[in-house]
Structure 1
Amino acid sequence: MFKGVLLGFMAFAAYAFSDAFVKSLRGSLPAYEAVFFGATLGLAALPFIKGGGDRWREVMFAQRQGLWLVRAVASAVGSIAAVIAFTALPMAEAFALIFLLPIFVTLLSVLVLKEHVGWRRWSAVVAGFVGVLVVLRPGFRVLGVGHLAAIICGLAGAISMIALRLAGPHEKRITLYGAGMVGSALITGALMLADFRWPQPGQWLLLLGYGLLAAVAAVLLMLATQKAPANHVAPTQYSQMVWAVLLGYVVFHDRLDWPMAIGIAIILGAGLFTFVREEQVTQWWKRVRML
């Protein structure tokens, strides 16, 4: 159990450093091009994820192909939005808005899965959006495309999670992972055909860090869920905020004021509470192979 949770912390630390690498590009490449190379490099994790009885065709061909396509599109949209958000915003602020994902999952659970949501989870939803207002302070600060992109990333992640809930019990890990990586690579590869720019040597190093660290994180997360239940591993995702604050302060010289820090705390608290309640009510970890 301890090893699984520790591997979870290591996985999300690797994800945070991966995001720091793509932020270091500072918009010097189109977001979809960065995602293409990141997703292509992320395919390096496939040999480690592939099980003994898995076939390579299962990376792209699923038992429920429609849900595979939903996850592929959501992953591509979310990844592009994440790159834009990290480029335009301080890391902690971008993560705070992206961490609206559990709130969006609750809303989609009602709309799509027809799940019953009690007053506690609705209270967390309201608190999460209050936290967003505190962070954004509309009317008191300039809002930009980065804020919109971060929220879109959280929404896309929630759509992917709902599709994962529906497909997870029927699909293999290699299929679930392939939807995110192959889907993102194909969609962003098509987008960059109109205006492709060869990365410079320094940009290649940043892209390598972005893609390979994400691949390492995926393998660590898989190992984590083999050693501990997914419901114990998933909350370690919130450690990314610690890394976001540290990396933002040390590497990018980001500064957080008190209202933003309070808003971030509200969003994280609401998201974590929502996760705990969803765990108790839906027992999703018993129905989904987490990856």
Structure 2
Amino acid sequence: MARGDPPATSTAIAFAVATLGIAFFSAMDAVMKALSLELGTYNALLWRTSAGAALAGALFFGLRSPWPGPGAARVHITRGLLSVPMALLFFWGLARVPMAQAIALAFVAPLIALYLAAILLEERIERRAILASLLGFAGVIVIFAGQAEAELGAEAFRGSLAILCSAGLYAYNIILMRRQALLAKPVEVAFFTSAIMAGSFMLAAPFLAEPPPAGQLPAIAGAAALAFASLLLLSWAYARAEAQHLAPVEYSSFIWAAILGFVVFGETVQPWTLVGAAMIVAACLIAATRRPRAVDPETGL
């Protein structure tokens, strides 16, 4: 690793930090859903990422952080560009689907990421991680079984398809988070991810951008701050634990989505959804624990 190995940290601590990062991201989702309904998905993302880039840039340059090397720069650009269609698809869908259901659909991402980690990062998939992901997926199935009789409508159906497409991109994004976190510090990750996304959205600004109403500026600033804090926390966590152990933390976002969806948008949660959520929490607890690796008595490794 170019900038030295991160300090030793237990998987449980990294998992807890990642969980807090997901909580901040879920709160940002709620704010962005409201902004997408008011401003449209493109403008909500344009102004949020621009505010986020300004916030992260002030800290990045204020700390006199070194400029990234070629390897880190390539990962920054890849993740930043990937995040553009991923975010557009997700927030367009989120504006049309209840938050809890949208997050449940997005749960396919950690399951895909678990196996991408083995292919791209050469991580050994432990039986405990596989069982945790299967239990989490079973929880998602229970949620859908409980919502099967709900009449979603054509708009919600299209929104669900958009979220599933976004989840496919997010699976690779989880892998990139791990690579990016090993090559760069959290502030650098947050700045370049936000800046590349904002720059990409700016390309369409002459055709699509509309100045936000003054009353929406606090929400835009709040969404940017929440996204920035989440990027910092997740980058810190992914630098200290393998992706296969942190991927299931994504399931905790369902709990936040259910709470925020009800409080902010009046979206009710079905009883079977709660059963599925309990299964998902159990999966997260299983993934958070890790058996110590056996030591070879001859080599000590």
**TMscore range, shorter length:** 0.7 to 0.9
Deviations 1:265-284 (A, max 9, x none): 3344445544656x978xxx
- The reply to whether residue 102 of structure 1 matches residue 110 of structure 2 is yes
Match status 1:189 vs 2:202 = yes
Contact 2:252 2:284 in 1 (8 A): no
Q: Does 1:144 align with 2:157?
A: yes
Pairing 1:122-133 to 2, within 5 Å after superposition: 122-133=130-141
Give the corresponding residue for 1:175.
Answer: 188
Deviates more, 1:163-172 or 1:266-275: 266-275
Unmatched tracts of structure 2, length 5 or more: 1-8, 294-301
The aligned residue for residue 296 of structure 2 is none
Q: Which runs of 5+ in 1 are unaligned?
A: 282-291
For residues 236-256 of structure 1, what are the alpha-carbon distances to aligned partners after superposition, in whole Å with 9 as ceiling and x for unaligned?
A: 876644433332222211101
User: Whole-Å Cα distance in 1 between the matches of residues 94 and 29 of structure 2?
Assistant: 7
Matched position secondary structure for 1:63:
helix
* Inter-partner Cα distance in structure 1 for 2:207 and 2:125: 45
Contact 2:21/2:234 (<8 A) preserved: no
Matched, 1:134 2:147: no
Whole-angstrom CA distance in 1 between matches of 2:138 and 2:167 = 16
CA distance in 2, matches of 1:230, 1:113: 12
CA, structure 1 residues 273+70, in 2 after alignment: closer, same or farther (shift >3 Å)? farther
Matched, 1:20 2:20: no
Rg larger in structure: 2
**Which stretch of structure 1 is more off in the superposition, 102-111 or 6-15?**
6-15
1:46 matched to 2:57? The reply is yes
Are the structure 2 counterparts of residues 131 and 5 from structure 1 closer, same or farther at C-alpha, using a change threshold of 3 Å? closer
Alignment-derived partner of residue 213 in structure 1 = 226
The Cα of 1:262 is off from its aligned counterpart by 2.5
Helix, strand or coil for the counterpart of 2:39?
A: coil
1:251 counterpart = 2:264: yes
AA paired with 2:277? I
SS of the residue aligned with 1:28?
A: helix
CA distance in 1 between partners of 2:207 and 2:17 (Å): 40
Shift of 1:257: 0.9
Q: Distance in 2 between matches of 1:95 and 1:116?
A: 27
Indicate whether 1:198 and 2:211 are aligned.
yes
**Per-residue deviation at 1:192?**
4.3
Task: Give the conservation status (yes or no) of the 8 Å contact 1:5–1:224.
Answer: no
Q: 1:222 to 1:101 in 2, by over 3 A?
A: closer
CA 1:132–1:185 in structure 2 vs 1: closer, same or farther (change >3 Å)? Answer: same
Aligned partners of 1:272, 1:62: CA distance in 2, in Å? 37
Are the counterparts in 2 of residues 102 and 271 from structure 1 also a CA contact under 8 Å? Answer: no
Counterpart position of 1:86: 94
- Superposed CA RMSD in Å reads 4.0
Look up the SS of the partner of 1:48 in the other structure. Answer: helix
The 3-state SS of whatever aligns with 1:144 is helix
CA distance in 1, matches of 2:175, 2:249: 20
- Counterpart position of 2:5: none
The amino acid that maps onto 2:161 is L
- State the alpha-carbon separation in 2 of the partners of residues 103 and 4 from structure 1: 19
Give the Cα separation in 1 of the matches to 2:17 and 2:131. 32
Seen in structure 2, the aligned counterparts of structure 1 residues 135 and 256 have a Cα distance that, compared at 3 Å, is same
Taking structure 2 as the reference length, the TM-score comes to: 0.70
* 156 and 270 in structure 1: CA distance in 2 versus 1, 3 angstrom threshold: farther
For the 8 Å contact 2:59–2:187, the answer to whether it is kept is no
Task: Give the distance between the partners of 2:107 and 2:292, measured in 1 at CA.
Answer: 20
Q: In structure 2, do the counterparts of structure 1 residues 122 and 94 end up closer, same or farther at CA, with 3 Å as the change threshold? A: same
